[in-house]
Amino acid sequence: MGVEHRIDLPLASPTVRPDAALAELTTVRIGGRPGQLVDCFSEADLVAAVRQTDSRGGPLLVIGGGSNLLAGEDLNALTVVRDRRGGARAEEREGRVLVTVEAGASWDALVEWTVGRGWAGLAALSGIPGSVGAAPVQNIGAYGAEVGQSIRSVRVFDRRSGALVELDAAALGFAYRDSALKRSLSGAAFPTPRWVVLDVSFALAAHPHPGVPGSDQAAESRSDRGVTAAGGHDQEADGSACGPAAVLELGGTVGSAGSGSQSGATATVGHDQLAEALGLAVGETAALTDIRRAVLAIRRGKGMVLDQSDHDTWSAGSFFTNPLVSEEIAAELPPDAPRFAAAGDLVKLSAAWLISRSGVERGQGMRPGARATASCKHVLALTNRGGATYADVMELADWIAARVADRFGVRLTAEPVLIPAAV
């Protein structure tokens, strides 16, 4: 028998009144009041709520942290179901640990717990808002890691068959910001996938290990770097919506060369911006605690760690995915355009580079005093400066996408789930 651990993790969704609007349940703070809001505190209640909503034939939204969602105002027909379960259990055996977490738990609380236990695999994914259940749907990733690299299986409720099913990593079909779960989010199932995540099992290393493969996400850090080598923040905004530039403050031992030699679990650093923040080269190792601290600092510099007082964090995260194009289209771009090999002989481009080189600046909106603007820290995030609507954000998104298409002939795809209305 291995060593067993159990914990109740903080939940991804906040405590709200029964008639709360989606503006209170999403990180972009936009969205009207749904027809019904149902909180579920057990798996049986969650499955029953999904079954009942589907039997009525109305649209269903199972929501976690609301961090990858933009909704309109007219949502009278929408039923919102919240998973209020955050239990986690782990079994540690022979240098490996299997961690199973209920879908409603906060993603970053899980990462913090695993790093604190010395379990390697998730540290580079620190600071990403949202729930554990949403992580495999989007195959979240950052700084040299994707969650699909650490997932062993996902247990789901199949809305089509009415059965509880366990999907292994192969069945989940992970790809860049994609999975079989996400691909089922269409047709009558929208805006919730066919498979509703109940819990997720992760296979992590309980001792220092070689880390995860290198990442092609360095494009984003080079093209729209939120942190300079000197620790300052590149400021390109017009100043109308943006305050003083943020400064990267790592603190502690982070940033000192050789941090990988400290005691405790380590992982290989597979991303150039993270390596720079740690004072290391890509491929060297660092302590998990140092990796987490550095990632959180970098994300704060980009407005990607939630802060109620910072409107740059009032967003749905990165609004566009990095485009996948043919080699012929990639060859037509300027020589300095970041590009990386992707599956199927495709080339991955940097959406942030395309946006900034098409003339969009940080903090820019459609007009002076706009309620929706590009983040003052990171052009890939579209932010609510206060009182913004679905239409405000989509007007800005469409304008940015049109500029990129006109300048480079590349189509940008929105990353968040978009619910214009449900009436």
What lies within 8 Å, CB to CB, of 258 at 6+ separation is none
Nearest to 379 by CA among 241, 231, 270, 182: 241
Type of residue found at 92: E
The residues annotated with a catalytic role in the active site are 177, 318, 415
What lies within 8 Å, CB to CB, of 93 at 6+ separation is 1, 2, 3
What lies within 8 Å, CB to CB, of 398 at 6+ separation is none
Nearest to 104 by CA among 16, 11, 191: 11
Which tokens hold the place of 137?
A: 């749907």
Where does residue 122 rank: exposed (0-12), middle (13-18), buried (19+ CB within 10 A)?
buried
Which backbone phi and psi does 251 adopt, to 5 degrees? 70, 170
Q: Is the dihedral of CA 340, 343, 346, 351 positive or negative?
A: negative
What ranges make up the beta strands (E) of 169-288?
A: 195-205, 266-268, 285-287
In 139-238, where does DSSP find H-type helix?
A: 169-172, 180-183, 218-223
